Amino acid sequence: MTARAIIIGAPRSGSGKTSVTIGILRALTRRGLKVRGAKSGPDYIDPGFHTAATGLSGVNLDSWAMSPSLLNALAAQAADDTDFVILESAMGLFDGIPASPGRTGSAADLARLYGLPVLLVLDVSGQSTTAAAVAKGFATYDPDVRMAGVVLNRLGSERHRKLSGDAIEAIGLPVVGAILRDPSLNLPERHLGLVQAGEYDDLMAHLDRLADTAEKSLDLDAVMALATPFAPAAGSFADALRPPGQRIALAEDAAFTFLYPHVAAYWRNAGAEIVPFSPLADETPDEDCDVCWLPGGYPELHAGKLAAAVNFHAGMARFATTKPIHGECGGFMVLGEALEDASGETHRMLGLLGHSTSFARRKMNLGYREARLRADCPLGAQGALIRGHEFHYAHMTATGNDEPLADLADGQGNPLGASGYRRGHVSGTFFHAIARS
């Protein structure tokens, strides 16, 4: 069976492409098709919705952070034994960073590489025929990126649909969907993006509402007809992040959620066992594990509960005496001495590293990163180059006296200085690892 695929893109974030993507994924799944969601770029949250909507694990495909060989391997895995792959763009379709051709991190890279058509989602609120000018710009901007159809989103009326849709079809682009403005379809957001799929009490009900809207407002048969065969070239997992141990104690709850699906999947496929535990439930890492991983998430929203988790604190201190612990972003914050929450209250953290962080005075840090490790740690061996991403609002209020973990550069190779800390068996950084460089 050869999978078929299409990219869902938009001019910018906030156009509604995630709701459209989830609605299509869920609607096609309800028809009995095997559908998988994919996300361009370094997004943790949307793949969780894709997985919930389809029952098949979502995946990130990142043309900057992943080598071409790893990208092909993951794309081929996504297409295997699947009817349709719906690939959602991050931000705007062409948004990436200045880089060598095909390595910008944009969804347009994936459209060129795999010859995939684009379904363009246009938020036409506040405009009518001008939407055709936007659509024409997308259609002509890059001849190697083909716009196959348009979905009109946030329409105010039937007249609004006709004005916008007729103008777009007059330039030769089919309009395959028209969605009326409905705030109840919006997914709630917070500072790092959408509220996560696992935090909904009625998640499936909301996903089914999105699917009902897709069935009613889109020509799903036409959308499926626009998709083209998806057959990536042969690839290799040689550049995937190695499992940091044979048995990996993984913090997993509402405070610790940001582990890329492809990272966990590769660890398991390589023979490692992931043993989850919940710091918020005052659980400790299994002492039979040989490494502990604290992923990113939202510890700033749960700082008081984490501070009061005495068993968690004691268990982590015991684990650190003999075995490696690594924390990424939120996990890194929890490894430090203290965390100041949004209200300005300071909470005691694990104290396994000497820094302190604050979420009270926010400053956004965002962008691709490449790290050269200064010492062996769960990310890799000394000298290894790791590509990844940084996205957080917290900042350091005290640096402590620990040794730096890595030397960091941005996505264009500009040096950013030392990053993260290490002490004994403990290491951590704000930087989220995606793949080996």
Q: Which of 289, 292, 329, 377 is catalytic?
A: 329
CA-closest candidate to residue 117, choices 4, 36, 236? 4
State the pLDDT at residue 111: 98
What residues form DSSP beta bridges with 257? Answer: none
Encoded tokens for 265: 């999947």
CA-closest candidate to residue 304, choices 327, 280, 283? 280
CA-closest candidate to residue 380, choices 251, 240, 274? 240
Cα atoms in the 13 Å half-sphere on the side-chain side of 436: 17
Question: Tell me: the pLDDT tens digits for 14-30?
Answer: 999 999 999 999 999 99
* 24-to-78, 203, 218 alpha-carbon distances in Å: 17, 16, 9
State the pLDDT at residue 197: 59
Whole-model pTM: value is 0.93
Q: Phi/psi zone of residue 305: left (φ > 0), alpha (ψ -120 to 50 degrees), beta?
A: alpha
Confidence of residue 123 (pLDDT cuts 50, 70, 90): very high
Encoded tokens for 213: 């809207």
State the pLDDT at residue 190: 44
Question: Tell me: the pLDDT tens digits for 175-222?
Answer: 999 999 887 766 655 455 556 656 666 788 999 999 999 999 999 999
Q: How many CB atoms lie within 10 A of CB 423?
A: 17
**Inter-axis angle of helices 130-141 and 158-170, nearest 10:** 40
Integer Cα distance of 59 and 103 in angstroms: 18
CA-closest candidate to residue 357, choices 369, 346, 343? 346
Contact 316, 325 (CB under 8 A): yes
Q: Which residues contact 96 (CB under 8 A, 6 or more apart)?
A: 63, 64, 104, 105, 106, 108, 109
Question: Tell me: the pLDDT tens digits for 137-157?
Answer: 999 999 999 999 999 999 999
State the pLDDT at residue 410: 96
Contact 27, 19 (CB under 8 A): no
Contact 300, 318 (CB under 8 A): no
Pairing of strands 415-423, 426-429: antiparallel
Sign of CA dihedral 105, 106, 112, 115: positive
State the pLDDT at residue 46: 87
Q: What is the mean pLDDT of residues 289-303?
A: 95
Alpha helices of 321-359 — where are they, by DSSP H?
Answer: 330-335
State the pLDDT at residue 199: 65
Number of helical H runs and strand E runs in the chain: 12, 24
* 72-to-82, 205, 233 alpha-carbon distances in Å: 16, 34, 6
Mean pLDDT for the chain overall: 94
Sheet of strand 325-328: strand arrangement: 273-277, 247-251, 291-294, 325-328, 426-429, 415-423, 403-410, 365-373, 385-392, 432-436
Instruction: Write phi, then psi, for 302 (nearest 5 degrees).
Output: -130, 25
**Any idea what DSSP says for residue 368?**
E
CA-closest candidate to residue 250, choices 277, 283, 282, 290? 277
Is residue 325 scored above 70 in pLDDT? yes
Place of tokens 């550049």: 239
Question: Could you tell me what percent of the chain has a pLDDT over 70?
Answer: 96
Instruction: Write phi, then psi, for 295 (nearest 5 degrees).
Output: -75, 175
Instruction: Write phi, then psi, for 357 (nearest 5 degrees).
Output: -130, 160
Is residue 56 scored above 50 in pLDDT? yes
Is residue 354 scored above 80 in pLDDT? yes
Q: Which helix (H) or strand (E) holds 262?
A: helix 261-269
Instruction: Specify whether 329 is catalytic.
Output: yes
